[in-house]
Each structure stands twice: as structure tokens, then as C-alpha cells.
Amino acid sequence: QTEVFAEMRVPLPYAPTTGGEVLLEDLVADVFAPEVFSDESHYYCCACGKYCEAVRRQWIKSAPPFLWITMHRYAFTDGVRRKILTELSFPLTGLDLTSFNARVYDCVGALEHHSTVAHAGHYTATLKDHSTGIWWRFDDGHVREVDWAPVDGEVQAGESPSERALKRRRTAPERASSHTAYMLLYVQQGYKVDDCPDLPSWLAAEVNRKNEALRLPETFDHQRLCESASVAQETRRGEVRKLITKLPHAHEAVKGPGDLVFAPALALREWSKGTDVVRSLLAEVG
């Protein structure tokens, strides 16, 4: 039976906490391991007209240029859906699937779900730019180059300290490990990404439109505005914390029952307008 598949799904051994590293190569081998039907699970052979032992296995008929591997990071235990936090070690270069009639692949992307529970968390993506070989980490609106600083490379003659530091940051190791990665994207070695079939015209137009929008100056201005607003918001929160801490000692505040503090409406109104009432109240406290 021949089936077209878009991704390879591999199970992970359950681990309620981080640790217990497993190799991606072993998980892939389990997917292609033969399954023997014997004893009570005999297979009925139409040609023989009787039940007999049989072997079922999966095999790759045609090696795809791109290979998407999905890890099962969730398990039901005691009727509850739980996160599997098993540490996964996977190759960034040289995933050899020739034993399964495929090719050798290099990793170009990973998606991660950061959480210890199955029903909530934060998603990030780490992708490799095929034109430069640089890895980038995408975390919501924050995009930064991946720092591979711990990896050493050979020192080239005449290499400056800055060039050496840059090389250390951009030299990816042969393997990586993660207890949060749940999807890995591999590309066949030697495959030219630029030779990929063109996108449908309507989809290409939409992608280009969004890419151009990200390059517009107002987009960067908006990002800076959001970052400034975030900093300002945290500053205001700090002022609130100081206000709550110091108001019980201020002349204009009244101590209520328990930990309650009654602040004057005028002070809160001025604070909401941006007036630095904290400093004025603290000045009264001395």
C-alpha cells in the first residue's frame, strides 16, 4: 500500500520532568522497525485462505527534498493530557536515512513549545537562512541571531579577534538537544532551495506584500513605539508598587483594615494623568 505523507511522526518516551535524553535517529528507526503479526494477531492471507504469521513495515518509496518530523510531546496519563519533557538530541547536519531508502538530510528549522504543561505555553521558531548559513531565532516580535559561542572552530591565519568572535557565534555544532522542540524541518543534502517550485501566484503576491510591509519605516517606528510603551508601562507599575508601599505613611493616606490602604482620589487622578505624585507624596513623608 502506497501513501503520500507530508510529515514523519515519531513517538517520544514519556518523562514528566526534563532529562532522559533520546536520539532522533533511534526514534526514526523505531518508526521503520518491522511489526510481526503472530499468535493471537495472525494475519489472514487471502491467497492461502488461512491465518498465518506476517510482517508489516514502513518504507520510503521516494525520498522527499524536505522532511518534516513531528514529535509526540503529549501523553494521556490517568485521563489527563500531559506534556512529555524528554530531552531530544538531534543532528543539525547529516541525518542519515539511507537505510530506509531515503537520503542524508540537514536541519534547517525547529519549532519549540516552552511549557511544562500541555494546555498552555509559548511558541518560538529557530530557522536557518540558506543563503548565509546564519541561524535566526523568532520569538514573537523579537528576532535575533542564534549565538553558538561555545562552539570552537579552527583559527585562520590573519584572523582578527572580532572575526574570531563572529565565527564562534555563527559556527553551529553538529548536534543540538531540546526538551521543548516538537517539530524539526530537514532538507536533503545537495538540494538547491532556490530550485523549489514556484508558489501559486496568489500566495506569492500575499507573501511579497507582507514582506514589503515589514520593510516599511512606519513598521519599525511602530515596533519601537510598542517597545517604548512596554517600558513605560513597566515604569508605571513600579510607581504603583512604590505608591502602595509608601502611602500608609503619607499624611493624605488612610490605613484601612488589614492590608488595605485608602488613597485620596485626587492623588490617583493626578497619577493617571502622568503626574509624578509618588515623588510629591514621598517628599511629604521625608
Mean pLDDT of 263-269: 62
Instruction: Tell me: do 231 and 102 sit in the same domain.
Output: no
Instruction: Tell me: do 206 and 166 sit in the same domain.
Output: no
Instruction: Tell me: do 164 and 216 sit in the same domain.
Output: no
Instruction: Tell me: do 204 and 160 sit in the same domain.
Output: no
Instruction: Tell me: do 242 and 129 sit in the same domain.
Output: no
Instruction: Tell me: do 114 and 236 sit in the same domain.
Output: no
Q: Which is higher by pLDDT, 262 or 91? A: 91
Instruction: Tell me: do 103 and 233 sit in the same domain.
Output: no
In a domain, 78, yes or no: yes
In a domain, 54, yes or no: no
Buried b (16+ CB within 10 A) or exposed e, 223-255: eeeeeeeeeeeeeeeeeeeebeebbbebeebee
Please check whether residue 110 is in contact with residue 181, taking contact to mean a CB–CB distance below 8 angstroms.
yes
Domain that holds residue 225: 198-246
- CA pair distance 127, 130, nearest whole angstrom: 9
Tens digits of per-residue pLDDT, 50-63?
888 888 778 888 88
Mean pLDDT of 260-273: 60
Instruction: Tell me: do 221 and 149 sit in the same domain.
Output: no
Instruction: Tell me: do 103 and 223 sit in the same domain.
Output: no
Q: What is the CATH number of the domain that holds 114?
A: 3.90.70.10
Instruction: Tell me: do 119 and 229 sit in the same domain.
Output: no
Residue 14 pLDDT more than 70?
yes
Instruction: Tell me: do 28 and 147 sit in the same domain.
Output: yes
In a domain, 72, yes or no: yes
Of the candidate ranges 48-52, 67-71, 132-136, 144-148, the one whose mean pLDDT is the lowest: 48-52
Q: What is the mean pLDDT of the chain?
A: 77
Q: Which is higher by pLDDT, 193 or 7? A: 7
State pTM to two decimals. 0.63
- Domain final position from 188, 219, 254: 188
Tens digits of per-residue pLDDT, 166-200?
666 677 889 999 989 999 999 999 888 776 777 77
In a domain, 257, yes or no: no
Buried b (16+ CB within 10 A) or exposed e, 21-56: ebebeebbeeebeeeeeeeeeeeeeeeeeeeeeeee
In a domain, 39, yes or no: no
